[in-house]
């Protein structure tokens, strides 16, 4: 199971909602949640992936406990400037890099599991 949370939950970036809809993922009715809420619930994970750009890495949440911690750095779509189409295109590029990174992670995990 995968979950998403942040330090300061707020509203979803509407440009992200749009570009995810383009690939069949509907985030329009999704909310945000705090990493602290997950911790208080006693949620346990095999791995926690933090997704922060390098500029805000110091604000990236750290999930406590015995867990594999993985840090991925991606640009933050909320900082993109330009015309609406330029911002959407840049957001698409980040979406696609995240997809490739996740696919690589799954592939790597599958191979590692095979050899263990």
DSSP 33: -
Q: How buried is 74 (Cβ within 10 angstroms: 0-12 exposed, 13-18 middle, 19+ buried)?
A: middle
Q: Is 49 helix (H, G, I), strand (E, B) or coil?
A: strand
In order of 24, 74, 75, 113, the CA distances from 55 in angstroms are 30, 10, 9, 34
Q: Which pLDDT score is estimated for 61?
A: 65
Token digits for 58? 């110091």
Q: Which pLDDT score is estimated for 63?
A: 66
Q: Which pLDDT score is estimated for 94?
A: 97
Token digits for 11? 């509203």
Q: Which pLDDT score is estimated for 115?
A: 54
The maximal CA–CA distance of the chain, rounded, in angstroms, is 49
**Highest CATH level, class, for 14-115:** alpha beta
Token digits for 31? 């909310």
CA distance linking residue 81 with residue 27, whole number of Å: 22
Residues of the chain with pLDDT under 50: 116
The domain locations on the chain are 14-115
Q: Which pLDDT score is estimated for 55?
A: 64
């Amino acid at each position: 199971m995968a979950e998403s949370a942040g330090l300061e939950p707020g509203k979803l970036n509407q440009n992200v909602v749009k570009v995810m809809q383009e690939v069949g993922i509907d985030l329009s009715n999704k909310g945000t949640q705090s990493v602290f809420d997950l911790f208080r619930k006693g949620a346990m994970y095999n791995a926690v992936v933090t997704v922060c750009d390098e500029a805000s890495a110091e604000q990236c949440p750290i999930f406590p406990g015995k867990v594999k911690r993985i840090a991925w750095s991606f640009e933050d779509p909320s900082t993109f400037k330009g015309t609406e189409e330029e911002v959407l295109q840049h957001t698409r590029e980040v979406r696609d890099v995240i997809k490739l990174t996740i696919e690589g992670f799954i592939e790597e995990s599958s191979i590692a599991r095979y050899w263990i």
